[in-house]
A and B are shown apart, each in its own frame.
Chain A
Amino acid sequence: MQQIISLLMENKPGALMRVTGLLSQRGYNIETLTVARTLDPTLSRMTITVDVEPNIRAQVIKQMNKLINVLQATDVTECAAVNRELVLVRVRTGQQTRAAVLKEAEIFQARVVDSTTEGFALEATGDPEKLDEFVGVMRSYGEIEVTRSGVVSMSLENKKLRLAPPVRFGSGVDETLELQHVD
């Protein structure tokens, strides 16, 4: 099944490699991956969709949370969340189908971003299933080219961000890390 993971991570060299490396190392197949800076430029937000067996979903999240550059990994598959993707479609149209293509685009609230005598480039956003339908419809008009952005996700739940506090040098590990158990 598709699992959607939202990661908040430090924007450090190699951080992306750690996430993708971990996924391939543990045999989890990446379907989509998007990453960009957050308001805080030292942090990045990443949304990953992976194809995993439902029984190892929790294990994927735990492995992600073990990465030191990852501040928080959240499984948003079944959370209240907004999932959006952007797709760019180039569709070739003859004179007789141009109007029909535009009509379909309108139904999907797609925008025309380029128009030539040979056809259109269209931009649509939505949840991935809706975009699948849009691509399917466009395909029925002939040869198309498609570029998809991958899913970006935003949880609508208030999840508290727990961070490890600084550790005073030489104070010893045992005394300094008194974090609460998180179920």
Chain B
Amino acid sequence: MTNSSNLLSGAKILLECLVREKVECIFGYPGGVTLPLYDALYEHSIRHVLVRHEQNAAFAAQGYARVTGRVGVCCATSGPGATNLVTGLVDAMMDSIPIVAVTGQVSTKLMGSDAFQEADTFGITRSATKHNFLVKNISELPQIVHEAFYVAGSGRPGPVLIDITKDVLQGQAQYVPVTEVHLPGYKVFSEGHAGQIRRAAQMMWEAERPFVYAGGGVIAGNAHDELRALVELLDAPAVCTLMGLGALPAEHPNFISMPGMHGSFAANMGMSHTDLMVALGVRFDDRVTGRLSAFAPHAKVIHVDIDPAEIGKNRHADLPIVGDVRRVIPKLLAEMRELAPSMQSRQSAARRAWWAQVREWKTEHPLAPETSETEIKPQHLMAEIDRLSGGRAIVASDVGQHQMWAAQLIRFNEPRLWINSGGLGSMGFGLPSAIGAQFARPDKLVFAVVGDGGFQMSIPELATIANHALPIKIVVMNNGYLGMVRQWQELFYNNRLSEVQLDSFPDAEKLAGAYGFKGRTVDSVKEMPAALEEAIGEPGPYLLNVKVSPFENVFPMVPAGGAINEMVLRPPQPVEV
């Protein structure tokens, strides 16, 4: 007979498993079917952060995961709670961010009856997750929880959802800690093929115009030191994608900024002229490549990625290496060093010419901030944030023009400082992800750099920030427009500005004041730097609403479908203000 004192509720078993996964913090929102879980959380050591909307729980969990590299956790109830998580899950899927979402489900006996707050979470989130689970039997719960964390955090990371029925959460069972996880169909290829690595090393010495294209995979794999060593040994110009910013320090002499649609002239010209592209943890996204058929036309491609399906998906890889960048790069370095005596100097003349060309591109059209005597240029604002950050602050961005200017102009000298929704481009991401980041790194200066559009999508989270007195510096780049959409309407839709003007932005001082913290609006270019300094000097949260020149657009720009060497470098015509 089972000793009843050894029995635990499903909710408690879940929390035991989370403790074993070293979870310290959950972002969530309670509801009917998760009542047993919230009862178990009462006075539990795991911290629960009550957000104001489930979507923001997923974004906050992502912020936490992005700055720590650990699995972030969010939680929602059945039905609307679960469906509200979906954007955050797809966002994590696109950017390969490890999060585990726990959702409640109606009791097993009610499933399929269109019960109150019932939704087919398992079906809805199939394509929104790396993998998902439905737990209808309490005996499976511990195994599934550990499988979920293992899948989320290993290989190419991603979101995993566990849907747990109410009867499982409130049922009782003996808790037997799991000792191993076995997913026979889940194969992770991390080592890289030795022969391929040797050939890659050879190709790198043979190249006349080598080029390193590093992405989010380098950050996910914690391979920033390895990347730096490779860039230095090969002595090639290097770019980091929007997802990879910080993988190579922005101040590194070989770094030539971000490539792609709003990338630097040097980055895009480099890609267009290289004869050997060393692609590390990247997926040849359309925002990087522009028109694929015209992308890197002279280059052989060495593609290292942990996900075999990324290899050859968009661009043919002349030399594929399936593996973890952190495991593969040191092996590449060893092979290169071995070959160095006979090969290193072989292309030295060509390499010198290549670098001269790259430097010329760099000086020809640098990513320099625009400034004005009379108004605050958004680029100027980013340059000031950059000055105050010194390449060390965490910057959580929303989506749009400000995101591109921030990516172009704020330096990141370490990985895991730049947090943004790269693949999905989810507006409303900035503020909640800053919350997750600040919980993960209470010691760090965290900026939420947001537009006036995205900020208003996540405005309820001001309450969460106030609640925990999180010292986040919210900087609203306020141009009164959905700027990026307007930019496209100006350029490609005959300047017919349709539904992009955002009037009635609230008074920042009163808004912040209503939540009990400080805020102000600044519209004078002379006062702007001091206003930012004041925000940073404030020990608590700060809402700084910066009125920038409304009609500024992001350049350089590669029009959709264009080749990346056909950049528009400045506004096509003077813009009337």
Contacts and interface: CB of A to CB of B under 8 A. Distances in A.
A177 B188 contact: yes
B154 A173 contact: yes
Given A68-B131, A70-B185, A173 B153 contact: yes
Contacts of A14: 122-123, 126, 132, 134
Contacts of B188: 164, 173, 177, 179
Interface in B87-133: 122-123, 126-127, 130-132
B190 A174 contact: yes
B184 interface: yes
Contact of B180 (A21, A168, A173, A181): A168
Interface in A147-183: 162-170, 173-174, 177-183
Contacts of A123: none
A177 B134 contact: no
Interface in A111-169: 162-169
B193 A181 contact: yes
A68 B158 CA distance: 13
Contacts of A65: 187, 308-309
Interface string B494-537: 00000000000000000000000000000000000000000000
B188 to A, nearest CB: 4
A13 B323 contact: no
A181 to B, nearest CB: 4
A107 B196 CA distance: 54
A93 interface: no
Interface string B148-182: 00110110000000000000000000000111111
B337 interface: no
A71 B191 contact: no
Contacts of B422: none
B193 A162 contact: no
A67 B180 contact: no
Contacts of B123: 14, 17
B179 A181 contact: no
A10 to B, nearest CB: 6
A13 B134 contact: yes
B183 A177 contact: no
Contacts of B146: 169
Contacts of B322: 181
Contacts of B308: 62, 65-66
A58 B414 CA distance: 37
A65 B309 CA distance: 9
B192 interface: yes
Contacts of A37: none
B208 interface: no
Interface residues of A, number: 39
Interface string B284-318: 00000000000000000000000111001100000
Given A62-B308, A181-B193, A71 B127 contact: no
B127 A183 contact: no
Given A65-B308, A173-B153, A181-B192, A162 B187 contact: yes
A164 B179 contact: no
B186 A68 contact: yes
A59 interface: yes
A62 B182 CA distance: 21
A70 B324 CA distance: 22
B189 A181 contact: yes
Contacts of B132: 14
B185 A9 contact: yes
B150 A163 contact: no
B525 to A, nearest CB: 48
A182 B186 CA distance: 14
Contact of B126 (A17, A59, A173, A182): A17
Nearest to A63: B309
A9 B131 CA distance: 15
A117 to B, nearest CB: 45
Nearest to B196: A181
18 contacts: A10-B185, A14-B123, A21-B127, A25-B127, A58-B312, A59-B312, A65-B309, A66-B307, A71-B184, A164-B183, A169-B20, A169-B146, A169-B181, A173-B188, A174-B190, A174-B324, A174-B327, A181-B189
A-B pairs with the 3 shortest C-beta distances? A62-B309, A166-B182, A163-B184
Interface of A: 9-10, 13-14, 17-18, 21-22, 25, 58-59, 62-63, 65-72, 162-170, 173-174, 177-183
Given A14-B122, A164-B186, A177-B188, 8 more contacts: A66-B308, A164-B188, A165-B182, A166-B182, A167-B181, A177-B154, A177-B187, A179-B190
